[in-house]
Amino acid sequence: MPKYDYLYLGDNARTPYGTRSFEVVYEYTLQAVKKLFAEGCPLIILACNTASAKALRTIQQNDLPRLYPERRVLGVIRPTVENVGAITLSGHVGVLGTPGTIASNSYPLEIQKLFPELIVTGESCPMWVPLVENGEADKPGADYFVRQHLESILKKDPAIDTLILGCTHYPLLLNKIRQYLPSHVRIISQGKYVAGALEDYLFRHPEIRERCSENRTCRFWTTESEDVFAGRASIFLQEDIQAERICLE
């Protein structure tokens, strides 16, 4: 949906969120939400599984009705979960995620709401985000950590035939993951499902869609130095970007 204007905020100075407590993730996420709302954003996507798992529900149920009744905040877990039932054949699903996402039990809970017959197994992968952010995703050093966690989750449940990449960093490890994963196991990478869900949401909520400006712009904010952020962002976007450093409080 390139016609819309996007403002990306990366709290890079305080990452990773995956090892932080529920209280801290909620506090940091709410600060980011308030900052984006102050800039005029009518709709925010928490493009982080940990924030979606630990902060989204509280923000939606407590903070929005009280502070921002006309604004909306969405996450990345529900759009992914909605597609699992049509993909798995064995009924056994694995979730790879940060320690925070796995500890929250958000994926099993959401999957059980829609597909109570499915069996869900989680695996915490604490080293995968640092590997990606330090440009090691395609290096030999990543092999050990990728193989370790894939072997671990398949040992927990050998019947798994569908694997959710429950972190937005993990698609950059896709080549390594496929290398050590049995060929029959299907991989769910969140990007297209989240994008599709957003498009559907805007179609169903014209009152929000009409408030989204359409000038085809994309701005980047970071709580880290601009140069550090630009270097990491180029790993994901495969292009040079200009960022502005901001503070959250």
- Report the pLDDT value the prediction gives residue 231, as an integer from 0 to 100: 84
- Alpha-carbon gap, residue 123 to 154, rounded angstroms: 10
- Alpha-carbon gap, residue 106 to 115, rounded angstroms: 14
Instruction: Report the chain's mean pLDDT, rounded to a whole number.
Output: 94
CATH of domain 6-75+192-245: 3.40.50.1860
Residue 116 has pLDDT above 90, yes or no: yes
CB 198 within 8 A of CB 74: yes
Q: 78-189 has which fold?
A: Rossmann fold (3.40.50)
pLDDT per residue over 56-82, tens digit each? 999 999 999 999 999 999 999 999 999
Give Cβ neighbours of residue 171 (< 8 Å, ≥ 6 apart): 165, 189, 190, 191
- Omega before residue 2 within 30° of 0, cis: no
- Report the pLDDT value the prediction gives residue 19, as an integer from 0 to 100: 84
Does 41 participate in catalysis according to the annotation?
Answer: no
Task: Check 167, 212, 218, 247 and give the catalytic one.
Answer: 167
pLDDT (mean) for 100-120: 94
Confidence of residue 18 (pLDDT cuts 50, 70, 90): confident
Does 218 participate in catalysis according to the annotation?
Answer: no
Task: Check 41, 48, 125, 218 and give the catalytic one.
Answer: 48
Angstrom CA distances, 150 to 8, 231, 248, stand at 31, 29, 36
**Six-digit token string for 184:** 């029959």
Asked whether this chain's domains 6-75+192-245 and 78-189 adopt the same fold, the reply is yes
- Report the pLDDT value the prediction gives residue 95, as an integer from 0 to 100: 97
Confidence of residue 245 (pLDDT cuts 50, 70, 90): very high
pLDDT (mean) for 145-169: 96
**Angle subtended at Cα 79 by Cα 5 and Cα 10, rounded to the nearest 5 degrees:** 45
How many residues are there in the chain?
249
- Report the pLDDT value the prediction gives residue 139, as an integer from 0 to 100: 93
pLDDT (mean) for 176-205: 95
Strand order in the sheet with 92-97: 119-124, 92-97, 162-165, 186-189
pLDDT (mean) for 143-161: 97
Residue 218 has pLDDT above 90, yes or no: yes
**Angle subtended at Cα 79 by Cα 42 and Cα 164, rounded to the nearest 5 degrees:** 135
pTM of the model: 0.88
Domains of the chain, by residue range, sit at 6-75+192-245, 78-189
- Alpha-carbon gap, residue 129 to 102, rounded angstroms: 14
**Six-digit token string for 205:** 């909520």
According to DSSP, residue 44 is labeled E
